[in-house]
Chains A and B, each alone.
Chain A
Amino acid sequence: MARPAILRNWFLIRRDLPQGRRLALTVVSFLLPVVLWCVVSYVPWIWHPDVKIELSAEREGVTTVFTAGDHVSRGFFPEFVEAVRAENVAVLAAKAAGNPASGAKRKNQKLLRQLAPVAVEHGWLKYDDAQNDAVLYHLWRDLATGAKTSVKPVLSGENLDIIRQNWALLSSLSPDFSFRSLPDEPLLKIVPQGKPANPVYLPAPHEVIRAGMRDFSAEVPDGELTMGDRYRKSLRVIFMGFLWACVVGIPLGILCGVFDFFSKLFEPFVDFFRYMPAPTFSTLLVAVLLAGDAPKVALVFIGTVFQMVLVVSKTTRLLDPSLLEAAQTLGAKPRQMITRVVIPGILPNLYNDLRILLGWAWTWLVIAELIGVKSGLTEFIETQGRFRNFDRVFPVIILIGVTGFVMDQLLSWLHGLLFPWAGTAGALSRGVARVVTWPFRTTAAAIYGRLAAIEAARLAATRQKSP
């Protein structure tokens, strides 16, 4: 039986797919998680284990207070609503029995503020002015009379009814807010309203994008860091740490790879040391190097350099030894064998090693920035994470990922450009290499031509002299 076309076209055992299909799959590999995230966030009946409270109420004798924006579990929310309804029923029952409770002025003032989230959401009140009772008092009136209508959230019929009943009582005492003329008997509580939501640690894509745009374009007061500053600071820590690791690790690695002497002298200890996690040295580093960037750079250095020595020495040992023998038979001395054969020979592999090690250095970023005085992007992640503002945390995490990924792709593309002889270059990078190196090549050719002409003239002169 023939295999179906889709299997024949897409699922080939150990065979590369055509270029177009590979590209499509690459795009899909990024699209897939995003689509999954959107589905989980926007399809209400998938997951959504929480209720995000839009209108809240305090309960009598319960100290836990939920405010608008809080998440409660889906199971608990009806219980919460029923408790508030029961209190309203009790208030109405007492009133009907003719002996309403009294001394509720303070409570009623708080109760009026139940509508504050609605006012803020619609822009009728500023966020930091949410306790402006005079405005809120009129909001009760406007909602009761229908002069204003709330759309975020749409008020339930039950709540509109409560608002009208309360307003009837309030308006009979005073048209404007004054604490004195608040009713003495308790008002009815607005019944909590909410919408299904995912847990606070998984904000929806649009929330993350909005928070990210706000944070990355935010103006900050003097002395504080913008997101760009933090980003630059983080990058500096990584690159300085990596640079120092290269300065120490590459020569040491090459020496270990070339001379058994250095290999046996250094590698056993390096091999031992790399198993001690770099963060365990954090307090020590802060004690020695004090606060500031130095201990952070040192942490990235420690976390990278030991791996680097081992990887570079391995790469050096992988160089075809017959190339060294060939160089020897061509008269190369030991120093020339290192500078003319070993180093150029391992460069492409060394470059790839460094690419991977740079990724390794990236993984130390967060830990490095946590030690001593918190700094950079990590400080932001830490602070916002503590406030559970995960919509502001995600953009930073994604930024770190994108930076690492883009850098790696760029470096990988540059590989073909830098090492055309390795034969891995695509047509594009070969073309770019031609263009980039053109001035150097032409200059070199011109100089060489001159030298050759001088040499030829000299030879001709000596030849004329000799006979």
Chain B
Amino acid sequence: MSTLELPSYRDQSPEIAARFARLQQRPVALQVRGLTKKFETPRGVVTALDDVSFSVHKRELMCVIGPSGCGKSTLVRILAGLETPSSGEVRVYGEPVSGPGSDRGMVFQGYTLFPWLSVKENVMFGPRMAGKSTSTAASEAREWIDLVGLSKFENAYPHQLSGGMKQRVAIARALANQPRVLFMDEPFGALDAQTRCKMQSYLLDIWKNVDITIVFITHDLDEAVFLSDRILVLDANPGRVSELVEVPVPRPRSEAQLFDPTFMATRKHIDHMMHPPGQGQKETPVLRLAVSDPDVV
């Protein structure tokens, strides 16, 4: 087997380097400082997050990735205000976060559409809560539904939609509030591989057209590299920032880039960070077989 020579993920072309320099100059949309979360359990105190600090710039798309149990979901729930940190603080455009609010949207893995509302009414929910009239909310909702390409289904109920369509509605619903930051907690985790690919392209399209900063939680390496400007890699037990990786893959992204050397280098680097080689690699015990088939080996 020949080894493919990959460049280091740190080697950035001049354009990419300029791009990240520009990114750093943009205002900070989300600032996280010294975030620690401890849970009291019967077996003692468990530290889910330990001194996590990072910042996300305006219109950045950042993915958070890490092995299971690294506190990704806890992190995003704290950012959205659904849980309170043990210490540390979160600021959105300089304002400290306390509790959930419409300035931070959230897309959940389990869709969480209101089953008693039609697609349109689901998308209208946020604007209605903000006190907009039904007709204004409805006309706004139409635009967002149009953006995610579900105009034909605006009067359908969630139970009549496929998983991918449901998640598009959930994205439209979150965007309809025009939040300043959008959190997505493994939004495509429950979808099949093909739909997931399509949804990733959709998301990039939407992100291109809408002025929004996205923090995207995932455990899928390809997804993270494909979507992000930067990737926040977390360690498990306790959850700590391992590295903030700048993805050197140029935009606009396309599926063809999956085999780009820069893409593969980044992917390999993060993979090694998450699963250090030589660790946890157990030899599969040889079982007694009735028939040994040379083609299988």
User: Hey, which bits of chain A sit against chain B, CB under 8 A?
Assistant: 320, 322-323, 325-333, 336, 340-341, 344-345, 347, 419-423, 448, 451-452, 455
Contacts and interface: CB of A to CB of B under 8 A. Distances in A.
Q: Which 7 A-B pairs have the closest CB atoms?
A: A331-B102, A328-B100, A329-B106, A326-B112, A330-B126, A421-B157, A423-B159
Contacts of A419: 116
A400 B115 CA distance: 37
Between B112, B126, B159, the greatest number of chain A beta carbons within 10 A of the residue's beta carbon is seen for B112
Contact of B177 (A330, A421, A448): A330
Given A327-B114, A331-B102, 4 more contacts: A320-B112, A331-B101, A423-B160, A452-B135
A347 B138 contact: no
A455 B135 contact: yes
Interface in B7-60: none
A36 to B, nearest CB: 43
B108 to A, nearest CB: 6
A288 B30 CA distance: 66
A332 B129 contact: yes
A329 B174 contact: yes
A331 B82 contact: no
B239 to A, nearest CB: 21
17 contacts: A320-B110, A327-B125, A328-B99, A329-B80, A329-B81, A329-B174, A330-B125, A330-B129, A330-B174, A330-B177, A331-B126, A331-B130, A344-B116, A345-B115, A420-B157, A421-B157, A452-B139
Contact of A345 (B102, B106, B116, B177): B116
Contacts of A345: 114-116
A322 B116 contact: no
Contacts of A330: 102, 105, 125-126, 129, 173-174, 177
Interface string B99-142: 11110111010101011111000000110011000111011000
Nearest to B109: A322
Nearest to A333: B129
Nearest to B135: A451
Contact of B105 (A329, A336, A347, A455): A329
Nearest to A347: B116
A325 B112 contact: yes
B111 to A, nearest CB: 9
Nearest to A453: B135
Interface of B: 80-82, 99-102, 104-106, 108, 110, 112, 114-118, 125-126, 129-130, 134-136, 138-139, 157-160, 173-174, 177
The A interface, classified by DSSP as helix, strand, loop or mixed, is helix
B114 A448 contact: no
A451 B139 CA distance: 11
Nearest to A455: B135
Contact of A322 (B102, B105, B112, B139): B112
Between B100, B134, B173, the greatest number of chain A beta carbons within 10 A of the residue's beta carbon is seen for B100
Nearest to B114: A323
Contacts of A323: 112, 114
B135 A331 contact: no
A320 B134 CA distance: 26
B110 A322 contact: yes
A336 B125 CA distance: 11
A452 B133 CA distance: 11
A421 B115 contact: yes
B127 to A, nearest CB: 9
Given A330-B102, A331-B101, A322 B108 contact: yes
Nearest to B80: A329
A422 B135 CA distance: 26
Contact of B129 (A336, A347, A423): A336
Nearest to A449: B135
Between A327, A330, A336, the greatest number of chain B beta carbons within 10 A of the residue's beta carbon is seen for A330
Nearest to B112: A326
A333 B158 CA distance: 24
Contacts of A420: 157
Contact of B138 (A329, A344, A423, A448): A448
Between A320, A419, A421, A448, the greatest number of chain B beta carbons within 10 A of the residue's beta carbon is seen for A421
A245 to B, nearest CB: 25
Between A331, A344, A347, the greatest number of chain B beta carbons within 10 A of the residue's beta carbon is seen for A331
B108 A341 contact: no
B82 A328 contact: yes
